[in-house]
Amino acid sequence: MSGAPLGKGVTTLRPDRRHLAEQVTPDKLVQAQSARASRWERRRSLRRFTGLRRIRTCGLSTTSESGATLGVVTGSGGRRSAAYGGLTTCGSVWACPVCAAKIAARRADDLATVMRTVDDLGGSAFLLTLTMRHVRGDRLGLTRTERSRRKELEDRVWSRSIARRNGWDVDVDQAASDDDELAALVASEGCWDVLSYAWRSVTSGAGWQADSERFGGLLGWARAVEVTHGVNGWHVHIHVLLCFREQVSADLARAALGPRVFGRWSRALGRRGFSASPEHGWDLRRAQLGDGDLADYFTKMAHEVTSGHRKEGHRHGGRTPMQLLGDTVETYEAGDMARWWEWESASDGRRQLTWSTGRRDLRALAGLGREATDEEIAAEDQDADERIALPRETWTRITAQRQETELLAAAEHDGLDGARTWLTSRGLRWFVATPGDGPPSAVIQPYGWRDDARGVLRRP
Ligand SMILES: [Zn+2]
């Protein structure tokens, strides 16, 4: 994995091919291809009713006038992986089946790297889960616009308090109206907003300072949010990876940290009119790489995103948002549709994974560098040994016929030769592109000429 820091807006190719080295049976390959086809299919259906504009063009339009590229990587085991380059992506980690799978896979890699580092240092890692009580009808959370307005008002209240302390003039009418608006926004907060507030309360103050000094010192934490929808409405909870410098037994960590962390958690919930069960509200266990830890959780999530079907079983007795989407696009049932829209508006712009910072920066500890944003990960093109260029009209025809994943499968089965044959047999134009090329900058072809299966131009 590359530890080089990324510039803002810069995307890089990922040279990591570990996943291609493993032996994959033909059955598994077919399974993976059909899961991918299902993700693309669900995104296609979602485009018709999503409230998020950027999902409507995700994977559909190209970033360059000249079209898209198709690249193939071959792993040491001979397994091929094909992907498109030069496509617009939405980077919606919560709502887009295709982008969410890609982002979850990357987060799992990062977390696994962090855990390996902690292990190498002789430290220990724990998985802490915190939940809250919820009832049907509880709102999921403020919309993105409401959240940014709340932030704006909080900033104004803060500046005003400084002004008052310094004896400066304050517009009292404006102050009163801001206070009222802020109070109304806070009163309309949903489970997700309260959960974020409660986690901030857990990780601040003298109690947290004391907790962080235990077991040789806290190296840092990473927090993931999980949401499901069940008979009691939205169920929002968090999973936190806590890494300490020393080896600690699960029993000791549980006894020393559990009740203290849960105490701050449930008091914070109480201040916002929510509560948590003392018996079932928290869980703390030792995290082992690939065995129910947070990295594993993200890997599973990447797989869950791939399926999104009822038969996959329900987490915590509820449907994951991707299962909700799967059901919605199958039935277009009004209740599911409304829940999906609530999901989109409440989740938009929120972070799925947050890291402790400053001297408890786990990413820096593991040499991971700056975290790529969701949008950057979604926009990354797969590394490729060889590519072909697909001019715009070819890409338009492929998307209109819903054959995007069929072409990928052809390229994975027989390499780019297979892709070329597939394209040529359908009368679709393609061009040779050199490895590492982005989208073709210009495609010049004399009128009336056609290319043969090897990409060589032939006179008619
Ligand atoms: Zn997307």
Task: Give the residue, 313 or 365, on which the prediction is more confident.
Answer: 365
pLDDT score, position 453:
40
Look at residue 209 and tell me whether its pLDDT is greater than 50: yes
Give residue 102 CA to ligand 1 midpoint distance, Å: 9
The torsion angle over the Cα atoms of residues 278, 282, 285 and 287, rounded to 10 degrees, is 180
Give residue 100 CA to ligand 1 midpoint distance, Å: 7
Residues 164 and 170 sit within 8 Å (Cβ to Cβ): yes
Give residue 228 CA to ligand 1 midpoint distance, Å: 20
pLDDT score, position 452:
41
Give residue 195 CA to ligand 1 midpoint distance, Å: 26
pLDDT band of residue 377 (cuts 50, 70, 90) is confident
Give the DSSP per-residue string, 32-100: HHHHHHHHHHHHHHHHTT-S-GGGGTTTTSBSSTT-EEEEEEE-TTS-EEEEEESB-----TTT-HHHH
- Look up residue 195 and give its two tokens: 């959960």
Q: Strand, coil or helix: what is 151?
A: helix
Distance between CA 437 and CA 64 in Å, rounded?
13
Which helix H or strand E contains 110, and what residues bound it?
A: helix 97-120
Look at residue 144 and tell me whether its pLDDT is greater than 60: yes
Mean pLDDT rounded to a whole number for the chain:
84
**Section 390-410 average pLDDT:** 96
Give residue 28 CA to ligand 1 midpoint distance, Å: 24
Angle CA 260–263–265, to nearest 5 = 110
Task: Give the residue, 230 or 310, on which the prediction is more confident.
Answer: 230
pLDDT score, position 86:
92
Question: Which residues make Cβ contacts (< 8 Å) with residue 302, sequence separation at least 6?
Answer: 101, 104, 105, 108
pLDDT score, position 176:
95
pLDDT score, position 85:
92
Give residue 45 CA to ligand 1 midpoint distance, Å: 12
Distance between CA 82 and CA 72 in Å, rounded?
4
Give residue 423 CA to ligand 1 midpoint distance, Å: 25
Give residue 131 CA to ligand 1 midpoint distance, Å: 29
Phi, psi of 386 (to 5 degrees): -150, 150
Q: What is the pLDDT of residues 93-129, one digit of tens each?
A: 999 999 998 898 888 888 888 888 988 899 998 999 9
Look at residue 446 and tell me whether its pLDDT is greater than 70: no
Give residue 90 CA to ligand 1 midpoint distance, Å: 4
Give residue 14 CA to ligand 1 midpoint distance, Å: 19
pLDDT score, position 302:
63
pLDDT score, position 271:
93
Pick the most confident of 96-105, 340-349, 356-365, 382-391: 340-349
pLDDT score, position 304:
59
Give residue 320 CA to ligand 1 midpoint distance, Å: 18
Give residue 105 CA to ligand 1 midpoint distance, Å: 14
Give residue 220 CA to ligand 1 midpoint distance, Å: 30
Region of residue 233 (phi > 0: left; psi between -120 and 50: alpha; otherwise: beta)? left
Give residue 58 CA to ligand 1 midpoint distance, Å: 5
Give the DSSP per-residue string, 270-330: HHTT----TTTSEEEEE-BTTBSSHHHHHHHHHHHHHH--GGG--BTTBB-HHHHHHHHHH
Task: Give the residue, 46 or 460, on which the prediction is more confident.
Answer: 46
Distance between CA 284 and CA 298 in Å, rounded?
18
Radius of gyration of the chain (CA): 25
Give residue 373 CA to ligand 1 midpoint distance, Å: 13
Pick the most confident of 358-367, 385-394, 420-429: 420-429
- Look up residue 304 and give its two tokens: 């869950």
Look at residue 376 and tell me whether its pLDDT is greater than 90: no
Give residue 259 CA to ligand 1 midpoint distance, Å: 40
pLDDT band of residue 90 (cuts 50, 70, 90) is very high
Residue where the block lists tokens 């079932």: 280
Give residue 363 CA to ligand 1 midpoint distance, Å: 25
